[in-house]
Amino acid sequence: MTVNGSISSDSAGIFLTHEHILVDFIGADSINSNRWSREEVVQKMLPYLLEAKELGCRTFVDCTPDYLGRDVLLLQELSKLSGVNILTNTGLYGAVDNKFIPRYAFDESADQLAERWIAEWGNGIDGTGIKPGFIKIGVNGGNLSEMHTKLISAAAKTHLKTGLVISSHTGPAVPAFEQLAVLEKEGVSPDAFIWVHAQAEKDSQKRIEAAQKGAWISLDGLGDDNIADYIGMIKELKNENLLHKVLLSHDAGWYDPAKPDGGEVRGFTALFQKLVPDLLKNGFNQEDVRLLLEINPAKAFEIKVRKNTNN
């Protein structure tokens, strides 16, 4: 589900699965869309989207959540101008000690939060008719707090009603496996969960274990200076026959309204210009690359309810 409506999975092409056009870090109590000009953001960010498109990207997953600068009309305009499919999201981001959680979410239950997110899927976001293509949440790096347990529970309930995959800013393995346990309790398959920033976990065996359970392993901090590290992590998963559970991206961008002219933008190019050529020099073939950049993301973001068959 893109900001311009649904597309078939087999027409989505090459994905960037975790990127940002705009992020505003001011916090849930102060954010509003008057803090940026859509015209200025488009002028600044369109060249970076077009550069990614020139390198092969056809579908761009924008992971900026509500209360952190999600602007679906901005994304729709950029999609139309660039010809790149863009996905937006529903959900709430609890990382950074709940700085980006609105006041109502502290009082509402997981069921009530899920109702809000399901309504965005059913009716569109903020009266625009634009629907989310996935659920985005965020948790801190340690054991799940009561709030963050509520967020993953709400995401599970939303998934069961919508079929939207859950993309969770997570990092280390401890909260990743605690979230998988909540999903299991809610009757949701690990296949509905993207472990975002899995590269932050130092123990490669944890990534292997999560992938064996069925979770998507998102290695999404690619840059020009860390290609060898990523090839190592991808090789470890390939050696365990788990390449089909890997997602790749940069977590790059973005326009920051707090900085002059939106600040310095990091482009979406390292995957195409550095990683892919080096993969091909390190024992990977074109089918592996297609699996990583096209087939896996299309399966991960497919609208499909994935129940836990063990229940």
Residue 291, in any domain of the structure:
yes
Q: What is the pLDDT of residue 311?
A: 53
Residue 8, in any domain of the structure:
no
Per the structure, the complete domain to which residue 172 belongs is given by 13-300
Instruction: Tell me the per-residue pLDDT of 68-113, one tens digit each, with 9 for 90 and over.
Output: 999 999 999 999 999 999 999 999 999 999 999 999 999 999 999 9
Instruction: Tell me the per-residue pLDDT of 275-287, one tens digit each, with 9 for 90 and over.
Output: 999 999 999 999 9
Residue 4, in any domain of the structure:
no
CATH number assigned to the domain comprising residue 185: 3.20.20.140
Residue 309, in any domain of the structure:
no
Residue 310, in any domain of the structure:
no
- Prediction pTM value: 0.98
pLDDT band at 296 (very low <50, low <70, confident <90, very high): very high
The alpha-helical segments, DSSP class H, found in the chain are: 38-55, 72-82, 104-107, 110-123, 146-162, 173-186, 204-213, 227-239, 270, 276-280, 286-290, 296-300
Residue 76, in any domain of the structure:
yes
**Orientation angle between helical segments 146-162 and 110-123, nearest 10 degrees:** 40
Q: What is the pLDDT of residue 264?
A: 98
Residue 64, in any domain of the structure:
yes
Q: What is the pLDDT of residue 294?
A: 98
Residue 308, in any domain of the structure:
no
In this prediction, what percent of the chain has a pLDDT beyond 70? Answer: 100
Question: Number of folded domains in the chain?
Answer: 1
